[in-house]
A and B are shown apart, each in its own frame.
Chain A
Amino acid sequence: MALDVESHYLRYGPMVLRRCRTLLRDPAKAEDAMQDVFVSLIRHEDRLRDEAPGALLLRVATNVCLNRLRGEKRRPEDAHEDDELARRIAHADDGGGDAESRTLARSVLGKLFGADDPLAASTRSLAFMHLVDGMTLEEVARESRLSVSGVRKRLRVLKGRLAELEGV
């Protein structure tokens, strides 16, 4: 059964576009990424049988946008900020943190997701949901259809990277 793209776009397209704008901060790139999200949905529409489309599309949008961010060049002049930002993001890792912490977390995650970053795409998405969106581990687990312990385990990898950034 072919996916009814138009009806899905009508219901979920604006939400997906908002998500892409939030991550990419560029209207044109966000629109392009939004279309890719729906192309992915067309390819994997069977997944719609198992879960609510909203959560699935938000996850796919996060993955698509983080992959695009990953390919963008890192600005050399930002390099000196790493240590302080890494400390801030580490403090944000206890339940969302305040708005400033989330902004800083976004910046650090952007650096962590450089082209040579070995973190798995799914881990990057989980990290973004927890550290930037401000979702609890339980909320991340529920929205990702993972166990809380599974989310916690994956985020330990991120903490290891942060420790490396701090020069430990």
Chain B
Amino acid sequence: MQQDNKRHVPDWLLERLALGELDAETAADLRRRLAAEGRTPDEIAALVAASNREILEQLPATPTAAAIKRRAERAAAAARPARKRVFLWSAPLALAGVAAMVLVARPWQPQVGDAPCDFRGPDGECINIKGGDIHPATLPRIYLYRHGATRDERLRDGARATRGDLVQLAYGSHGGGYGVLLSIDGARKVTMHWPEKQDGDAPALKATGETRLPSAYELDDAPAFERFFLVRAATPFSIATALDAARALAAQPSARKQSLALPPGFEQISLALDKAPAASKEMP
């Protein structure tokens, strides 16, 4: 404990002490360490209070809070018309009242078998895995769910979707490895879904049957299709490799059907949604 008392008391913990948010044991420990430094909690509290006053004089609460709210509104507005990530806890509210109408407007119509795939998975997904034995039970998988007001709907390749649909992306990779999840659309755009960064190396995949991404994804008004890819390799690879291949494919007229042009050693699994016009509110 004596050695512990000699340790610098981090400002982080002093802030928390001044707020009164620390548990009793931690607070008592900090008081002991402060005493060893010849300081007291009262002195710290006085310093923090003086700093608080000075800052609040420079940046008063009412206008600063108003500026923060405006910034938050701008950020929300900027995200609204375009594709955006929607955290799961907000999804049920966002969809309540509209999902059912959208779903009945265009019944699901599977369209599989028209892509140059090595073979198709259980959901009709296109699987291109070259150079190795195929074990169906351990194949990498990509899963798509559409959030509904009461339940999620698992989507197959070729399922109809429309602007505003909230889709949840998941992957399965019993063999672990490294991977990224991205999509291309009929507007020739590429969207990274996981990880969010676009540089560095692809992160490790969880060696499980199904792992959902932390956020859902709202389809925008891009026409024709949204095609999701899981790009996987057994060893780490640059995210740029997958992104560059996706950008190249997205620019092609055959982007809905063709495979990503990836170097040997990569696996790719894709599942496409066919876009339909948004249902109008007058529809039954």
Q: Is the CB of A55 within 8 A of B16?
A: yes
Q: How many A-B pairs fall under 8 Å by CB?
A: 101
User: With A39-B75, A133-B12 as given contacts, are A52 and B61 in contact (CB-CB < 8 Å)?
Assistant: no
Determine chain B's interface SS by DSSP, over half rule.
Answer: helix
CB closest chain-B residue, reference A32: B71
B208 CB–A CB distance under 8 Å: no
**Cβ contacts B193-219/A at 8 Å (1 or 0 each):** 000000111000000000000000000
Most buried by B among A10, A14, A96, A142: A14
**Cβ contacts B47-62/A at 8 Å (1 or 0 each):** 0100110011001011
CB closest chain-B residue, reference A117: B200
Residues of the B chain whose Cβ atoms lie less than 8 Å from the Cβ of A163 = none
User: With A55-B16, A135-B13 as given contacts, are A42 and B72 in contact (CB-CB < 8 Å)?
Assistant: yes
A6 CB–B CB distance under 8 Å: yes
Determine chain A's interface SS by DSSP, over half rule.
Answer: helix
Q: Is the CB of A54 within 8 A of B10?
A: no
A158 CB, min distance to chain B CBs, angstroms: 15
Q: Is the CB of A96 within 8 A of B8?
A: yes
B261 CB–A CB distance under 8 Å: no
CA A35 – CA B56 in complex, angstroms? Answer: 14
Residues of the B chain whose Cβ atoms lie less than 8 Å from the Cβ of A99 = 8
A22 CB–B CB distance under 8 Å: yes
Residues of the A chain whose Cβ atoms lie less than 8 Å from the Cβ of B201 = 118
B61 CB, min distance to chain A CBs, angstroms: 5
Contact partner of B8 (CB less than 8 A), chosen from A22, A46, A134, A142, is: A134
CB closest chain-B residue, reference A51: B21
User: With A9-B65, A55-B21, A117-B200 as given contacts, are A142 and B26 in contact (CB-CB < 8 Å)?
Assistant: yes
A157 CB, min distance to chain B CBs, angstroms: 12
Which of A8-22 touch B at CB < 8 Å?
9-15, 17-19, 22
Residues of the A chain whose Cβ atoms lie less than 8 Å from the Cβ of B16 = 52, 54-55, 58, 143
Q: Is the CB of B59 within 8 A of A135?
A: no
B86 CB, min distance to chain A CBs, angstroms: 11
Residues of the B chain whose Cβ atoms lie less than 8 Å from the Cβ of A5 = 65, 68-69
User: With A14-B51, A35-B71, A39-B68 as given contacts, are A115 and B199 in contact (CB-CB < 8 Å)?
Assistant: yes
CA A38 – CA B61 in complex, angstroms? Answer: 13
CA A12 – CA B208 in complex, angstroms? Answer: 40
B214 CB, min distance to chain A CBs, angstroms: 12
Q: How many residues of A contact B (CB 8 A)?
A: 44
B201 CB, min distance to chain A CBs, angstroms: 5
A164 CB–B CB distance under 8 Å: no
A139 CB–B CB distance under 8 Å: yes
Q: Is the CB of B200 within 8 A of A118?
A: yes
A83 CB–B CB distance under 8 Å: no
B42 CB–A CB distance under 8 Å: no
A31 CB, min distance to chain B CBs, angstroms: 7
B55 CB, min distance to chain A CBs, angstroms: 4
Q: Is the CB of A31 within 8 A of B59?
A: yes
Other CB < 8 Å A-B pairs besides A9-B64, A58-B12, A96-B8, 12 of them? A13-B55, A13-B61, A17-B55, A18-B11, A38-B72, A42-B72, A58-B15, A102-B8, A118-B200, A133-B11, A139-B10, A143-B12
Which B residues are closer than 8 A to A by beta carbons?
A: 7-8, 10-13, 15-16, 19, 21, 26, 48, 51-52, 55-56, 59, 61-62, 64-65, 67-69, 71-72, 75, 87, 89, 199-201
Sort A-B residue pairs by CB-CB distance and give the 6 closest, nearest first. A118-B200, A6-B65, A14-B55, A14-B52, A52-B21, A5-B65
Could you pull out 22 A-B pairs where Cβ atoms are within 8 angstroms?
A5-B65, A5-B69, A9-B64, A13-B61, A13-B64, A15-B48, A17-B55, A19-B15, A38-B68, A42-B72, A43-B72, A44-B87, A52-B19, A53-B21, A55-B16, A58-B12, A58-B16, A95-B7, A116-B199, A117-B200, A118-B201, A136-B7
Which A residues are closer than 8 A to B by beta carbons?
A: 5-6, 9-15, 17-19, 22, 31, 35-36, 38-39, 42-44, 46, 52-55, 58, 95-96, 98-99, 102, 115-118, 129, 133-136, 139, 142-143
